[in-house]
Structure 1
């Protein structure tokens, strides 16, 4: 049941990408409105993740799981029934807020209810599930749009969540209840500062590139730094006064946890940007149907699933060296993918990418799955909710950062195009250029892991 909760929240991060042309046509949405339909979910999700984790600590993780799933189900129904773009944007924000309540309880419940090898296996299954959710968002979403079930068009990608959510709500009673031993009042000042700071950070990262980085985006980033610095100070003052802060800054001061958080940010920045860039390449650039495009990408899931299942055993035997090996596989596979796409150019045959896509998926599975288990294993059970919220926030910030950087590279390359006749070649070149960020991030992960595995703080 926990895996199902994780699946639906990540599924809805990705499924909208394949439906954008249908939504735009069906609702008459402008380009800016389409941007907020995509970004609204991610913004609300990322901003309140830490708060969602702390609420689970205070009021019970099973209870917050059920409340979050109920809210997510209602919000999904509202998305599917949206009469206009503004209504859909609001419903997507509600979906993101519900996911922020739901998602941290998945990490925290696994952390406190499983131990040792069982915990590693549980996180392995979770990592596999989240990867499959991202892929299913494109494959299943494309299939639903292609089939046009009940004549619902794009609405079916949201309405499918309703029966799934109702089942999950009913089955949530089988999840063992857990909460933190200390249950003081929630730090609402901290919630406000963190939410405002992360909003001002994520909005320009998501919207800035599409608007050529207007002046407001720089002001927003500057305000984000100031607000997050103020949040750090306020949290430390609250802790020294004997209160329980939203985030215990001593957690981020732990070298192993801080390093793990940075590694997760880097890895997840490559994941979201890769899915988006590949969808643009094969659908817009090469003109493939959403279902066919998803089918071409689906073999990536084979490598991810196999690697996710094997990773816990390899890490148990080889420790950090297994993660280093996975990071190297991931970096090399991205380099091979870049080379293959760049050399083929306008003559690219998407099916020929399948072998390297399988290896890319395997690299992601070998590094994402064990990193989550490793980093959350550094904290006490009493901090599990807090830590899961922090890590989930790093994932979303990383995703926004990756999409922003790759979007800049991608769009800059497209801007050099010479008309529709060269569209396939331009998109192939844009994909290869954008993926240079992913290659750099993957190589940086390798270097950091190699340095730290030599020093052995992650052992």
Structure 2
């Protein structure tokens, strides 16, 4: 995937009434675009640096999985809260706080002495991103008129797409350049001056609040976070630890926390409060199935990046820059398909999204077949055609999917629905890393791996792990085809 975690229409999560201020200066737009850029850039740059981090910190797959999944989990569960905090306390203020928090947490990532310190810093970085990112959308919405808003959101889409590509290519170059002997640490350290300067420059930006801001359901957010962490921890650690008793206990505790979360949310809604998630939206079968589709589709993206980086760097011996450059054409395919997707949906109808998912599945299947035959560094370019098809299929399916799913709720619930889908994107990414990790680690370190060439071992682990991705996308295509026939809410 190239254009990762842009939450689904987060400007609608808590949009304030239309305002007609004077057109902001170009510097304001540049600062807001920078805020969106660094949150996406840091997701992708870490993927290409994972093998270097793993080697330097002597960490296992579970720790590296948490470095990625922890960021996405914190981002996802706090995203709605971040939007509501901005509505209540001022979007400019929360943007500055998010930028400063992102800069400081990036510094902590850059100086982390071990894997556990890095995981903790990444959790804080994800929380800062959740505070920062919703303000970008909300401020673009309220600071511009209709024409200016359209242009600003178009530029934001281009910026996020470029951030994904830059994260892979420039990130690989930064790691490989080993600036000041810092190695992978520089990918985080460069955020410190950028983030602090942007946080100080926001004074030129007008403040914006919503008079109808919703309350923040901190107990609900706490239960959801605990439940998801208790689920991800055993899934990531279990394969290496041999599935000891505590892994089963953790999964059981996760189920209890998530059950308590749902009961709490119903209770908050019943007494007229503002739940983190309005569970009544899931009474719509179209929305429920669509939310599951989003979870499935997005569970395949981050997990593939992680396994691909390990395959081509740890397995085939490519440098970080070579690995990022090899993957970049997938990003180009995604961008091209994203531009074509709306036209495809207009011509074929919503069933065209299911076709896009099948193209995505074909790209994954081709990649699995190609990877299974890799024997060394000289074979790496054989992955290129399947990567392009993979990125193209992602763009055809992901880009129109979010609007499809939100269309199954009434307009007055669109903001909450967008928040839920945004969270499902991030949680899906974290969940995918944990599930795919089980297969990857089991095959890589299995009994049959003894005596097999390193490149072939990583190729087998990648191909085996990606069977989950193939199955998830095929199931998503079936669900999309089923719900695409349902009428949307007007």
Which of 271, 280, 285 aligns to 1:255? It is: 285
Partner of 2:485: 454
The CA deviation at 1:157 is 0.5
Task: Label 1:243 to 1:344 Cα distance change in 2 as closer, same or farther (>3 A).
Answer: closer
1:364 aligns with 2:394: yes
CA-based RMSD of the aligned residues comes to 3.5
Partner of 1:428: 459
Query: Could you tell which deviates more after superposition, 46-55 or 257-266?
Result: 46-55
The CA deviation at 1:374 is 3.5
Which of 210, 214, 222 aligns to 2:252? It is: 222
The CA deviation at 1:53 is 3.5
The CA deviation at 1:272 is 0.9
Determine if contact 2:303/2:432 at 8 Å carries over to the other structure: yes
The CA deviation at 1:332 is 1.4
Partner of 2:304: 274
Partner of 2:224: 194
Question: Mapping of 1:300-379 within 5 angstroms?
Answer: 300-344=330-374, 349-376=379-406
1:445 aligns with 2:476: yes
Q: State how far apart, in whole Å, the 1-side matches of 2:172 and 2:377 are.
A: 24
The CA deviation at 1:191 is 2.8
Q: State how far apart, in whole Å, the 2-side matches of 1:104 and 1:339 are.
A: 40
The CA deviation at 1:291 is 1.1
Partner of 1:65: 95
The CA deviation at 1:351 is 0.9
What per-residue deviation string (whole Å, max 9, x for no partner) do you get for residues 32-91 of structure 1?
A: 765654454344334423432332343344443332122111211232244555544433
The CA deviation at 1:298 is 1.3
1:56 aligns with 2:90: no
The CA deviation at 1:361 is 0.5
Determine if contact 2:303/2:436 at 8 Å carries over to the other structure: yes
The CA deviation at 1:5 is 2.9
Q: State how far apart, in whole Å, the 1-side matches of 2:57 and 2:231 are.
A: 29
Query: Could you tell which deviates more after superposition, 221-230 or 296-305?
Result: 221-230
Question: Mapping of 1:371-410 within 5 angstroms?
Answer: 371-376=401-406, 386-410=416-440
The CA deviation at 1:251 is 2.5
The two structures have a TM-score, normalised by structure 2, of 0.81
The CA deviation at 1:306 is 0.9
The two structures have a TM-score, normalised by structure 1, of 0.86
Task: Label 1:230 to 1:364 Cα distance change in 2 as closer, same or farther (>3 A).
Answer: same
**Residue segments in structure 1 that go unaligned for 5+ positions in a row:** none
Which of 310, 325, 335 aligns to 1:295? It is: 325
The CA deviation at 1:390 is 2.2
Partner of 1:151: 181
